[in-house]
Structure 1
Amino acid sequence: MAWIFLVIGGLMEVGWALGLKYSDGFSNPIISILTVAGIGISFFFFGKAIKYLPVGTAYAIFTGLGAAGTTIVGMVYLNETVNLFKVFFVVLLIFSIVGLKLTSNQSEA
């Protein structure tokens, strides 16, 4: 269950990162409230995950999911630049996340 919490937290990080973009420097109240709620939810799930997982591995996966997810959303939906190097490094990041998961020997409670 800890890994599911970690993935939910990482995906919520994508949501609040996008919320920061659309909050216009926190001048849009509705988006700002949703963004702050997303931050809270994201860290809630991260906190639940590190109760059972090594903090270094969990943090690397948490931030990696957020970074990769935000980059992919930006390229696919926000017309951000796409080039071979960017795609290569996002794929490398995803493989690194999977590698960390596979090499983690921490058992869940």
Structure 2
Amino acid sequence: MAWIILIIAGLFEIVWAVALKESAGFSKLVPSIITVIGMAISIWLLALAIRSLPVGTGYAVWTGIGALGTAIIGILFLHESTSIPRLIFLTLLITSLIGLKLSTPEG
């Protein structure tokens, strides 16, 4: 169950990161509110997950999901770079997240 909570926490990290971009430095109300709420939910779920997962693994997976998901959203919807090196490193990030999951005892 801790892994499911951690994945949901990572998804909320994607939500707040994209909303932060859309808030234009907290100058737009709705994206700013989404950012703050998304941050609070994401951190709360991370805190729940690391009660039974190692903190290093939990934090690394949480940030990895956020970074990977935000990069994918950036590529698909915000017209960010799809250079070969960027795609290679995103693939390495996915591999690292899977490796952390496989090498960590179930929480």
Mapping for residues 32-71 of structure 1, pairs under 5 Å: 32-71=32-71
Residues in 1 aligned to 2:30 and 2:67: alpha-carbon distance in whole angstroms: 24
Task: Provide the TM-score with structure 2 as the length reference.
Answer: 0.97
- Deviation of 1:13 after TM superposition, in Å, equals 0.5
Alpha-carbon offset, residue 30 of structure 1? 1.5
Q: Deviation digits for residues 31-90 of structure 1, max 9, x if unmatched? A: 111110000010011011000000001100000010011011101111001111100100
Letter matched to residue 82 of structure 1: T
Give the Cα separation in 1 of the matches to 2:67 and 2:88. Answer: 14
Moved over 4 A (4+): none
Alignment partner, residue 25 of structure 1: 25
Partner Cα distance (1:75, 1:30) in 2: 23
Matched residues in 2 for 1:51 and 1:98: separation?
Answer: 20
Q: Give aligned pairs, total.
A: 107
Give 1:39's aligned amino acid.
M
Q: Distance in 2 between matches of 1:92 and 1:31?
A: 31
Match of 2:104 in 1: 104
State the secondary structure of the residue aligned to 1:69. helix
Could you say what secondary structure the match of 1:24 adopts?
Answer: coil
